[in-house]
A and B are shown apart, each in its own frame.
Chain A
Amino acid sequence: MTKTFTIDGQAIPFVDGQTIMDAALMAGVYIPHLCHHPEFTPHGSCKLCSVKVNGRICSACTFPASEGQDVVNNSTELNGDRKRITQMLFVEGNHFCPSCEKTGNCQLQAVAYYLNMLDNHFPFFFQTRQLDASHPDVWIDHNRCIFCTLCVRASQQHDGKDVFGIAGRGMNKHLIVNAESGQLKDTDLQPDDKAVQVCPTGAILIKRTGYQVPIGQRLYDHRQIDQVSLAASGSRPSAAFPPSLAVATEGGHHEP
């Protein structure tokens, strides 16, 4: 017999070992997330996927599904919390969308759009962060890194390399690369590595590929991230989406 739990009253089937996020994505229920990616070990750090499980707030991407759980996902309260978390991410980094090549294809921006985030609420830090343009084909803009660790995990778990890591704590947290010089050019990173493709923001970009799709015609300009995410995880037939927009996904730097 199939085991189930409920999300917002809807019965969700699952098998033992699945997280709430796994089961939800499979059932076509979107839970906002940034650091989660179905191909990699969950990290549970961005907290966008916070849901209420039997009255307590948990991260859906790390919390195991179990029989009879009562999960609240799409509530005004939780979406309000998620908006505040997203605002914190925006004021902690330096996210100037109009001058970022990732605009329109950026998951941080798309989640903010999904949550109808119109302002930043908090005062900005305007921290000085560096660029690393040393690599011939890939560059890092630390201003846009949200420490989701997807590049860290993708490099280890998919590419069989160990290019990225996170160092420091709190406001001193930063992305580092595995080279004595600290420069990307001295790593074995290649532009077609999953670690490059998986970055949800404009922190890791491939050189000489910018602005091939005009602003206004990009992935999240016309499709909400919930639709994109569910289509990518295979829980709904992709034919449900206008094929004319499919071109926008060809950058390959989105969800699988």
Chain B
Amino acid sequence: MSRKIRVATTSLAGCFGCHMSFLDIDERLIELAQVVAFDRSPLTDIEQCGPCDIGLIEGGVCNSENVHTLREFRKNCKILVAVGACAINGGLPALRNFIPLEECLAEAYLHGIGVENPQIPSDVELPLLLDKVYPLHEIVKCDYFLPGCPPSADVFWKFLTDLIAGREPQLPYALVHYD
């Protein structure tokens, strides 16, 4: 039997909704597992990405750790896929792009309603926030894009089955949604 196709997934500045939608392929997961093995993913708890065929990335890029993870995926994955609205245009987290970062932090940690012991978190373990939330394609090259908030289970299925069968992935009209 030929080697299984290795797939890694992660969520950066996302809500894991795209991962949940991926799992909505339901019993087709069993069929997928015949030909696919998961590398780094919240589904496996593997924490470092090894050499992979396909990397699926949900969420935009909001902090230094996101940049590191994204570059690790790009380095290891032959095909890198931006999954969902946030990966493609920053999505909901990018709404902070219209407010200066200092003001965001002040509102959340100093002056917001119900804040106790006001202080801006500064532990060295915490990744630094970027000035803005960036879509993936502004940081690394992305090979494919799956729009949707989230992309439906059928989008994941159509895309992966096309790719695994060696076809150029195509999303018909019914599967293209930005909402």
Contact = CB atoms under 8 A, between A and B. Distances in A.
Interface in B140-179: 142, 144-147, 149, 171, 173-174, 176-179
A94 B89 CA distance: 9
Contact of B173 (A96, A104, A113, A126): A113
B171 A119 contact: no
A246 interface: no
B82 interface: yes
Chain A contact-residue range equals 20 to 34
A124 B135 contact: yes
A116 to B, nearest CB: 6
A112 B98 contact: no
B179 A103 contact: yes
Nearest to A94: B98
A145 to B, nearest CB: 15
A16 B173 CA distance: 37
Contacts of B138: 123-124
A98 B171 contact: no
A147 B177 CA distance: 24
- Identify whether the interface residues of A are mostly helix, strand, loop, or mixed: loop
B145 A118 contact: yes
A104 B149 CA distance: 13
Interface in B100-152: 132, 135, 137-138, 142, 144-147, 149
B85 A98 contact: yes
Nearest to A128: B98
B88 interface: yes
A97 to B, nearest CB: 4
A221 B174 CA distance: 7
B55 interface: no
Interface of B: 82, 85, 88-92, 94-95, 97-98, 132, 135, 137-138, 142, 144-147, 149, 171, 173-174, 176-179
Interface of A: 90, 94-100, 103-104, 109, 112-114, 116, 118-121, 123-124, 126, 128, 215, 221-222, 224
